[in-house]
Amino acid sequence: MFRATFPDARYLLDLFKAISVVAEEACFRISPDTMAVKAVDPSAIAMVDFSLARGAAEEWELDGHDGLKIAVSVSEMLKIIGGARGGEAVTITYSPEEKKVRFVLAEATGSKRRDIYLETLEGFEERDLTPRVDFKAMASLATMALREGVEVCRILDDTLRVAINPEAVELSASGEYGSVLVRFPRYGSIIYELEADQEACSYYGIPFLSKMLKAGASLSESTRIELGDNTPMRMGFQIPCGKLEYYLAPTLRS
């Protein structure tokens, strides 16, 4: 049996929303020390790599098992805890024999408690297509600035060019009526760290990228992006006691 209590149900909700950007269904791997998910979208364009260490929980028990797999509908799980309020804690309990996940949302004062059950998915097949990429450049920058830059590019097209060079991070897009370049200089206040011996760049679809940044903005003030040339992007967000990374495949341009 697995049982864990998290002090902030709203924070856990934001983490699950970040997973749902890529997958409506996912398999949570539970170990004595972590809760982890790797999930790929149906078109194999995007992937999420998420883990949360037991240090994020007030209580963490895994009895009689070296590890468990819990396959659930993430979209349904979000509906269940979507009404979580500030100050509420959430306890997750799972027994393989019952094939149900129990969520208990309780206010700190003890004045209100909700017990909700979610059926697990039988016969769920995991997909792990983690790309092997030789990244050439990396930058860490302010999440909100990056998100705003992507949205500016979206005005003109659903695809943008992302480039990291020794002097800046650049986002650009062009459409029927014009073009736009958003540039974040290396020594400006938006860039926290930059590593690049030469330019690395690829084109990416904005719809997925926008959703990833929206989810990440609620969790982290900084975003780490890693690029090659015409390769998947790896984008990571700093979260306490855990990891949240996305991979996004490039879009071919003629």
Are 106 and 9 in a shared domain?
yes
Classify residue 237: in a domain, yes or no: yes
Range of the domain at 68: 2-119
Are 75 and 170 in a shared domain?
no
- pLDDT per residue over 169-223, tens digit each? 999 999 888 999 999 999 999 999 999 999 999 999 999 999 999 999 999 999 9
Are 149 and 109 in a shared domain?
no
Single-letter residue type at 222: S
Classify residue 202: in a domain, yes or no: yes
Are 146 and 235 in a shared domain?
yes
Classify residue 54: in a domain, yes or no: yes
- Of the candidates 114, 113, 96, the residue with the CA atom closest to the CA atom of residue 3: 96
Helix (H) or strand (E) holding 117: strand 113-119
Distance of alpha carbon 176 from alpha carbon 157, whole angstroms: 9
Are 89 and 158 in a shared domain?
no
Distance of alpha carbon 235 from alpha carbon 213, whole angstroms: 9
Single-letter residue type at 67: G
Are 108 and 150 in a shared domain?
no
SS3 203: strand
- Of the candidates 248, 154, 211, 239, the residue with the CA atom closest to the CA atom of residue 21: 211
- Of the candidates 33, 30, 19, the residue with the CA atom closest to the CA atom of residue 92: 30
- Write out the chain's pLDDT in tens, 254 residues: 899 999 999 899 999 999 999 999 999 999 999 999 999 998 999 999 999 999 999 999 998 777 899 999 999 999 888 877 778 899 999 988 888 999 999 987 777 888 999 999 988 877 767 778 889 999 999 999 999 999 999 999 999 999 999 999 999 999 888 999 999 999 999 999 999 999 999 999 999 999 999 999 999 999 999 999 999 999 999 999 999 999 999 997 64
Are 24 and 106 in a shared domain?
yes
Task: Give this prediction's pTM.
Answer: 0.93
Number of domains in the chain: 2
Q: Which token pair is 70?
A: 């819990």
Give pLDDT, residue 82: 82
Are 150 and 219 in a shared domain?
yes
Classify residue 57: in a domain, yes or no: yes
Classify residue 167: in a domain, yes or no: yes
Are 15 and 89 in a shared domain?
yes
Query: In 10 A of CB 97, how many CB atoms?
Result: 6
Distance of alpha carbon 108 from alpha carbon 170, whole angstroms: 46
Question: Which CATH number covers residue 228?
Answer: 3.10.150.10
Classify residue 142: in a domain, yes or no: yes
Q: Are 64 and 1 in contact (CB under 8 A)?
A: yes
